[in-house]
Amino acid sequence: MTLSESTELAASIRALETVEVLHALRKPPLECLRPNVWESMLSRRAKATFYTVAGPLMRLNGLLYFYLRAPHKGNLRVHLGPGQKNYIDGWVNVDANMFTGKCDVWADLRSSLPFHDETVEAMYSHHVIEHLPNLPFHFAEVYRCLRPGGMYRVGGPNGDSAIVKFVENDKSWFSDFPDKRESIGGRFENFIFCRKEHLTILTFSFLEELMSNAGFVEICRCLPGKESSDVGRFQACLQKEDESDFDNPHTLIVEARK
């Protein structure tokens, strides 16, 4: 074990002594475009406290999975951020929220993914990456884990559609969640930033650039719940995706191949 890993282990053991703090932060799930966002959304301070306390434990658990359980060869199918309702049987479901969600591996998705190089044949995330602070790192990690020919299907709030509907002044396309807003600007801000839960706007051109820079090819846009360039791999994922407007989808789905 390296010095940095020993230090991280010690920090994790100390964090165990205050793990009851995590239980005070439990919240029921809600629909903020995806079911694994907590209902009465945690304040920024409470969320920072959660990650301060739980972060070392999640990283330790990720390391333990990586060294003790993750296969060195294989054809894993990995689901990032299943929450409570979107757990996929037969996939390895990874989430930071094991308290109100359901997962196989408890790990911090902001950190390195707990899988060996080229051991994953399919990776899926749905309304997850808009919460991550470093998207170039995330896509590089996904690319590292995928086998040659492996695919990533990623979905998030559709900035392209939101811009179109904002310009059209179509308030009905937007909801008034998480804050009740009557103006088109207020509803647009709700959708894009979701009371600062979302850290960026997602558009196809932006995701195409990020994925291309990471090395992905055959980058394409798909209709949520209806389309995939590899239905055999992602059929279970399609069944988890809801959409009410297929002309201007609320969710942007992008697939790409390593």
Q: Which of 14-23, 35-44, 113-122 has the lowest mean pLDDT?
A: 14-23
Cβ–Cβ < 8 Å for 257, 216: yes
Q: In what order do the strands lie in the sheet with 251-257?
A: 105-106, 92-95, 76-80, 120-126, 146-157, 251-257, 217-222
Token pair listed for 2: 């390296």
How do residues 77-122 score in pLDDT, each as one tens digit? 999 999 989 999 999 999 998 877 899 999 999 999 999 999 999 9
Topology given in CATH for the domain delimited by 72-257: Rossmann fold (3.40.50)
| The residue type at 255 | E
What was the pLDDT predicted at 55?
84
Residue 145: CA count within 13 A, CB half-sphere: 26
Buried b (16+ CB within 10 A) or exposed e, 76-108: bbbbbbbbbebbbeebbbbbbbbbbbebbbbbb
Per-residue pLDDT for 62 more than 80?
yes
* Rg of the chain over all Cα atoms, to the nearest angstrom: 18
What was the pLDDT predicted at 43?
65
Cβ–Cβ < 8 Å for 252, 128: no
Task: In whole angstroms, give the CA distance from residue 150 to residue 39.
Answer: 34
Q: Are strands 120-126 and 217-222 parallel, antiparallel or unpaired?
A: unpaired
What was the pLDDT predicted at 41?
59
Contacts of 234 (CB under 8 A, 6+ apart): 122, 124, 151, 153, 228, 255
What was the pLDDT predicted at 210?
98
| Domain definitions of the chain by residue range | 72-257
Residue whose structure tokens are 């790990």: 107
Going by the DSSP 8-state scheme, the letter that residue 131 receives in this structure is: G
Cβ–Cβ < 8 Å for 155, 238: no
8 or 30, greater pLDDT: 8
What was the pLDDT predicted at 52?
82
How do residues 181-229 score in pLDDT, each as one tens digit? 999 999 999 999 999 999 999 999 999 999 999 999 999 999 999 999 9
Task: In whole angstroms, give the CA distance from residue 38 to residue 27.
Answer: 6
* Main-chain phi, psi angles of 137, to 5 degrees: -65, -45
Per-residue pLDDT for 23 more than 50?
no
What was the pLDDT predicted at 195?
92
The mean of the pLDDT values for the chain is 86
Q: Which of 95-99, 171-175, 231-235, 247-251 has the lowest mean pLDDT?
A: 95-99
Contacts of 48 (CB under 8 A, 6+ apart): none
Residue whose structure tokens are 């890993």: 5
